[in-house]
């Protein structure tokens, strides 16, 4: 179980370069400023849950994860991992936590994978028999056998990620925090890692918190999602709830026969005529219209557009989920307590 209670983190930033202006100006100008990276974030993730943690760049995801894993001390608030505060009882908390940073490896570059596990096992004071049993278990789950004797530097990124996942799980943590585990992987390696993560969650019962910029990771793996922006938690609930909250606007791409028709329709969309849909983009004769299909049907919108001229082509495309999520931010409902 992961409990974050009123977590905040501020960083003190040094203001610009010293300048050679007058002493009075330097006195008036603050030498440093405070950046509130995370503000009063609270959530509880129950044992065995698979939760996504998303938000735009600089939203405070890494800062939160670093506080959860005990690397950063919160300015205020408290973290508990399986009931243990990682800032007060770091070693104990570390036993229940595995962390994977997709951009960094915790494996030894020049060592074969199995030797890295030996070193990590010693770091976690694991008995040899327990380590061997666990490596076997992880090998069965993550299919490491084919490259267990290969130096890490010779592994493909997908293989390395599997090795890193095993390293994070070696000491049998009940909680796994993943920071961008699919970053840089090709489509098939992503599929592979996602299916392994699902197995880890389902077969080992591991509680997983996943940070990612890849919305397919979230859609395919997470039953619950936390959305953070500008340091504040804006949504905490099911993926379906997030979808319906955003309204998952659909986009219709409609191409008119002439430029004049497209321009006339575009002008109409900027005006009062279109209440449940709006023009998003005009590209020569093509207009991209954004709409809530709960309010207006596809055909209904096409009929309104056709009052400006015959359409050469019209098709519907779903707005990218990520783009839709970004829309949530400005007027997001406060997360549940």
Ligand X SMILES: Nc1ncnc2c1ncn2[C@@H]1O[C@H](COP(=O)(O)OP(=O)(O)OP(=O)(O)O)[C@@H](O)[C@H]1O
Report the Cα 326 to chain-centroid distance in Å: 12
State in angstroms the smallest separation of the CB of 12 from ligand X: 8
* Cα–Cα–Cα angle for 60, 66, 67, rounded to 5 degrees: 90
- H-type helices in the chain, by residue range? 23-28, 61-68, 90-95, 113-123, 128-142, 157-169, 187-204, 215-221, 239-246, 259-270, 298-306, 321-328
Residue 13 engages ligand X in binding (rule: CB under 6 A): yes
Nearest-5° angle of CA 127, CA 130, CA 135? Answer: 120
Q: Does 62 bind ligand X (CB under 6 A)?
A: yes
Using the rule CB under 6 A, is 4 a contact of ligand X? no
Report the residue number, 105 or 212, with the smaller CB distance to ligand X: 212
Q: How far is the CB of 213 from ligand X (least distance, A)?
A: 6
Strand partners, 317: 251
Q: Does 61 bind ligand X (CB under 6 A)?
A: yes
CB of 50 to ligand X, least distance (A): 20
CB 101 within 8 A of CB 61: no
Closest CA to 325 of 52, 4, 9, 40: 52
199: region left, alpha or beta (phi > 0 left; psi from -120 to 50 alpha): alpha
- Contacting ligand X (CB under 6 A), which of 1, 5, 11, 111? 11
Q: Convert residues 16-55 into a mask of x (bound to ligand X by CB under 6 A) and - (unbound).
A: -------------------x-x-----------------x
Nearest approach, Cβ of residue 42 and ligand X (Å): 17
Query: Applying CB under 6 A, which of residues 59, 144, 196, 325 lies at the interface with ligand X?
Result: 59
**Residue with smaller CB distance to ligand X, 32 or 136:** 32
Distance of closest approach, residue 17 Cβ to ligand X, in angstroms: 17
Q: In the set 8, 63, 105, 201, which binds ligand X (CB under 6 A)? A: 63
Q: How far apart are CA 150 and CA 109, in angstroms?
A: 10
**Closer of 61 and 234 to ligand X (Cβ):** 61
> In terms of CB distance, is 61 or 285 closer to ligand X?
61
Query: CA–CA separation, 62 vs 44, rounded Å?
Result: 18
* Shortest Å distance, C-beta 13 to ligand X: 6
Looking at residues 207 to 266 of the shown chain, list those that interact with ligand X (rule: CB under 6 A). Answer: none
- Among the residue ranges 60-68, 75-83, 217-225, 289-297, the one whose residues contact ligand X (CB under 6 A): 60-68
Burial per residue of 288-298, b for 16 or more beta-carbon CB atoms within 10 angstroms, e otherwise? ebbbebeebee
- Identify which of residues 148 and 183 has a Cβ nearer to ligand X in the complex: 183
- Closer CB to ligand X, residue 39 or residue 162? 39
Long-range contacts, 58-62 (Cβ 8 Å, 24+): 59/228, 59/229, 59/230, 59/231, 60/9, 60/228, 60/230, 60/231, 60/232, 61/179, 61/211, 61/228, 62/179, 62/211
CA-based max dimension of the chain: 77
d(CA 79, CA 72): 11
| 129 counts as binding ligand X under rule CB under 6 A | no
- The CB-of-263 to ligand X minimum distance in angstroms stands at 39
Q: Which stretch binds ligand X (CB under 6 A): 22-30, 57-65, 146-154, 216-224?
A: 57-65
The footprint of ligand X on this chain (CB under 6 A) covers a number of residues equal to 12
Among 58, 184, 273, 334, binds ligand X (CB under 6 A): 58
Binding site for ligand X (CB under 6 A): 11, 13, 35, 37, 55, 57-63
């Amino acid at each position: 179980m992961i409990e974050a209670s009123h977590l905040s983190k501020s960083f003190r930033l040094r203001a610009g370069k010293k300048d050679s202006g007058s002493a009075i100006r330097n006195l008036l100008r603050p030498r440093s400023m405070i950046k509130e990276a995370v503000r009063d974030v609270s959530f509880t993730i129950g044992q065995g849950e698979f939760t996504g943690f998303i938000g735009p760049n600089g939203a405070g995801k890494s800062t939160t994860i670093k506080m959860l894993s005990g690397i950063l001390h919160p300015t205020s608030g408290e973290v508990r991992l399986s009931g243990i505060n990682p800032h007060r009882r770091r070693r104990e908390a570390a036993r229940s936590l595995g962390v994977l940073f997709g951009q960094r490896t915790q494996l030894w570059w020049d060592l074969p994978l199995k030797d890295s596990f030996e070193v990590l096992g010693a770091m976690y004071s694991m008995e040899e028999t327990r380590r061997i049993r666990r490596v076997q278990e992880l090998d069965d789950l993550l299919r490491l056998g084919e490259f267990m004797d290969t130096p890490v530097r010779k592994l493909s990124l997908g293989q390395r990620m599997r090795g890193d996942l095993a390293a994070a799980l070696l000491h049998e943590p009940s909680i796994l925090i993943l920071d961008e585990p699919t970053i840089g992987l090709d489509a098939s390696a992503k599929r592979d890692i996602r299916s392994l993560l699902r197995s880890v969650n389902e077969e080992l019962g591991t509680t997983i918190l996943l940070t990612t910029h890849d919305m397919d990771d979230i859609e395919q793996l997470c039953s619950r999602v936390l959305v953070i922006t500008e340091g504040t938690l804006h949504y905490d609930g099911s993926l379906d709830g997030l979808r319906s909250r955003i309204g998952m606007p659909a986009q219709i791409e409609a191409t008119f026969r002439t430029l004049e028709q497209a321009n006339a329709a575009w002008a109409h969309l900027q005006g009062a005529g279109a209440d449940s849909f709006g023009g998003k983009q005009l590209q020569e004769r093509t207009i991209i219209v954004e709409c809530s299909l709960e309010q207006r049907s596809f055909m209904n919108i096409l009929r309104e557009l056709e009052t400006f001229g015959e359409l050469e082509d019209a098709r519907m495309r779903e707005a990218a989920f990520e783009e839709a999520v970004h829309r949530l931010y400005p007027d997001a409902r406060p997360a549940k307590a």
